[in-house]
Structure 1
Amino acid sequence: MADPQGTSKPINFVHRDEIRKAYVKVEKDSASVWPSKWGSLTEAYKEYERECVKLKEVLRAEPPSGSAAQPLTPTERNIQVAPAPPVPQTTQALIGWRLGHSNLQLEKYATVNHGRSSFLKELGWPSGACS
């Protein structure tokens, strides 16, 4: 991409190539040294995978006992879905169309009241203690 003001410096392709060669050399050196420094991590990971497979097989073979596992309850008992009101015909009426229906409002249980309190009053300090 050309500089619109023409103030860019000329590109030194030889210098860029030398930098790229240095990066490639460092990557190759790091790849050859990595197993001696960090190769133990691969064995630990393989051991972890073997243990996970064993645990999964044990869980598949032995289902949880009847006293600890609770039977699944049907969702029809817990969740009751009321029919939605008809969708408005215009986009302007679409904004906030569910708020007019009390059973579809977000605050289902009670309104949220955030009381205002003073930090100084909580500490029992006089109101002019901090300025």
Structure 2
Amino acid sequence: MAGRAGPDIKVCNFVAADKQWTNSIRLETEAAKKWANRWGFLVTQRNQIEAEQEKLRKKCRMLTPEHLKVRPASPISKYIQVGPSPVVPKTTQGFIGWRSAVPELELERYGSPRQGKWSFLHQMKWPEDSID
């Protein structure tokens, strides 16, 4: 029993593993040398196509007329002035449109929001403890 390996012990042959590694490296270097003879035409054609396209780009490029050129950017503060914020509303309903500078866009045109006098239970004439 002492000479046998158990099911969970792996026996590794270092010489065979080294031979496999050496063969894979040799095959990769040979393939790299042969690649240029077999597939090198793809690279040369691609380089030629890119060179032709670059020549066409330079040939067809037009100069932009002065009236169509983009003017340099000016500071935003020249056109937009931001004043102080108004007082923060007390209700969440007041948050809607509260920073609007245009009075017509404000949603609270008719004053601050109010709670109604009647509840649904009171309108239906139900007792207050009918719902949890």
Q: Determine if the TM-score, normalized by the shorter chain, exceeds 0.5.
A: no
After TM superposition, the score normalised by the length of structure 1 is 0.40
After TM superposition, the score normalised by the length of structure 2 is 0.40
Larger radius of gyration, structure 1 or 2? 2
